[in-house]
Structure 1
Amino acid sequence: MDIKSTVAEEEEVESGSEENGSKKIRFSVVNLNNKDPYYEIVIKKSHSIFMTIPISFARWTGIMYMKRMRLVNGKGKEWRVNIARKGRWVHIKGGWAEFQTCNKIATGDTCRFKFIQGNGGKNVLQVLKISKPHSLQ
């Protein structure tokens, strides 16, 4: 299997409610074939505290081995965030809520998270709101 491909990745997500022991499923589009790999995700209510990074994306980009990184919006403004790994989950934590508020990212918005390699290890994760694909409108 070629890891440098576009995949629709099904991930189980820890839901805020554990009623009936059910888990929610989230679908992410993950593209590792670009020079700057990216994933797209629809923002959920649970994303007000943290953002889950698809594990295939976190492995491919090396984010799963980081403790901190920078998020950048479409205007180039940067925010420092913490990266946390717990078992098979990788999350953007400390700093995410401020980034989400400042950039008016709301529940239901679709965002693209693009990993951009910088010189000297100054990598960033660019986060942009994108319009929904025509098929999802």
Structure 2
Amino acid sequence: ALNTMPAKLDDTYDQAMERIKQQPHRRLALQALTWIVYAVRPLQVNEIRHAIAIDELEPDDRSISEDMLTLPELIVNACAGMIKIDEESNVIGLVHKTTQEYFDRYGAKHFPDAQWKIGKGCLTYLSLDVFS
């Protein structure tokens, strides 16, 4: 097992991203990571659950129901060890500061349209009936 250890930390994160992209829940993982990596502040678990649900809304949907919210455990598991939930603050975030440093360097490769997706998600959320 030791000779299969990645030579550099970046290789470890590259391998994690490859595992994410090969799994059935890749869309969920990429949605979650987009929000976690590019949000301007740390997100609470319920905020990430709503952000993911927004991406799944049909054009005529006017609200988010509880059954549309993904279980936090599923989000964490889909992200292949890249994220964690802080039990005290209920913040969902990257597992280590080196993970953020990795995405600072290579995020555009993995999430080329992240800013657009977050902007669209925010506008969609604000257009829900709850804000009317």
Given the two structures, how large is their TM-score scaled by the length of structure 2? Answer: 0.31
Looking at CA atoms only, which structure, 1 or 2, has the larger radius of gyration? 2
Q: TM-score, normalised by structure 1?
A: 0.30
The structure whose residues are more often helix, as a share, is 2
Structure number having the greater strand percentage? 1
